[in-house]
Amino acid sequence: MDLEEIAVRLGVPVDDVARVHRLAGDRPSAPLPAKADAPALLDRLAVRPDDAAEILAGWPDPDSPLWTPELRWLLDRSIALVRADLGGYDWLPPGPELPRERGPAWRHLYVYAYLALLDVVRAFHRDHGVPDAVSWTTLADLGRNLAIDRRMHREGWPVMQSWLTLHARGGLYELGRLQHHRGEGSIGLHVPEAGPLTPRAVTDSLDAARAFFPRHFPDEEYATFSCGSWLLDPQLREYLPEDSHIVRFQRRFTLEPYEEPDGLDADVEVLRFVFRSLSTPVDELPRRTALHRAIVDHLRAGRHWHWRRGHFPI
């Protein structure tokens, strides 16, 4: 099949298929784990039973009628694309967004790619002396994101499929309450859905990172922690008390001058992270917490949230 034929059969733009072909080239892919080992592996990756059942139902067995030649090509080449950037830490879409309503093979193609890359990235972790506990805690973000995507009625995955390539290349590590993202001179901070953002938990995670990166990536120099998020929008202080966890998290950072982010709508991202919904009308969103009320009242007043970047010294 040529690239145009693959694109037509996948129902995606030919430019997206050409990008996969260009970045993957003839580089090596990686095999999936044995299907018999998959249930225990999915459990270790914190994948919920309902998501695990779907993944197993769509498993790319050699004789599976679910897996057309174009799907098998995309799976093989998306694995090769991500593997070729092992050790990288930039944002990396593994392939085009697929029409996921067409079944489990389409819905979970990039999950299978993630599973195929586990041995590859675990070897990278071992080469850098990363402890098993950190490795598996980091990689178990797969289960968390699948559960969120299910709660979002499948609205969340197009972002998550790119997000998870950070984990699959050794670009990100979960150390306590925060996830820490390798970068150019700065460790990027991400806040997973993992309980209260207490000052003590944040400090402990930062202290863990201060020890982790010099030990396991001694050739990389980091001067600052940084973060880009709606969480750093100072407008939140109009609504939240000074002793709230979010405001106390904000106060750690020196904000950079505001610039409208390219291709990112902060209002959409707030809905994604706070309400886990992109389609619920504002007037129907819950108002159970002070943060809920802040988000809703701000949007109902015709105002907008901002994606802000900040940093502080390590």
- Tokens at residue 124, please? 């990278």
- State CA 9 to chain mean position distance: 27
Closest CA to 85 of 22, 164, 169, 21: 169
Q: Are 229 and 191 in contact (CB under 8 A)?
A: yes
User: What does the DSSP assignment read for 218-246?
Assistant: TT----EEEEEEGGG-GGGGGTS-TTSHH
Residue 31: CB atoms within 10 Å = 9
Q: What is the pLDDT of residue 76?
A: 98
What is the rounded distance in angstroms from the CA atom of residue 94 to the CA atom of residue 75?
9
Q: What is the pLDDT of residue 12?
A: 96
Q: Give, as one character, the DSSP assignment of residue 171.
A: -
Summarised one tens digit per residue, pLDDT across range 116-173 is 999 999 999 999 999 999 999 999 999 999 999 999 988 776 789 999 999 999 999 9
Closest CA to 72 of 42, 41, 31: 31
Q: Which of 18-32, 39-53, 195-209, 268-282 has the lowest mean pLDDT?
A: 268-282
Closest CA to 119 of 32, 59, 38: 32
What mean pLDDT, rounded, does the chain reach? Answer: 96
Q: What is the pLDDT of residue 62?
A: 94
**Torsion angle, alpha carbons of 247, 248, 254, 259, to 10:** -20
What is the rounded distance in angstroms from the CA atom of residue 79 to the CA atom of residue 168?
10
What average pLDDT does this structure show over 247-259?
97
Q: What is the pLDDT of residue 303?
A: 97
- State CA 160 to chain mean position distance: 5
Who's near 151: CB < 8 A, 6+ residues apart?
276
Q: What is the pLDDT of residue 27?
A: 97
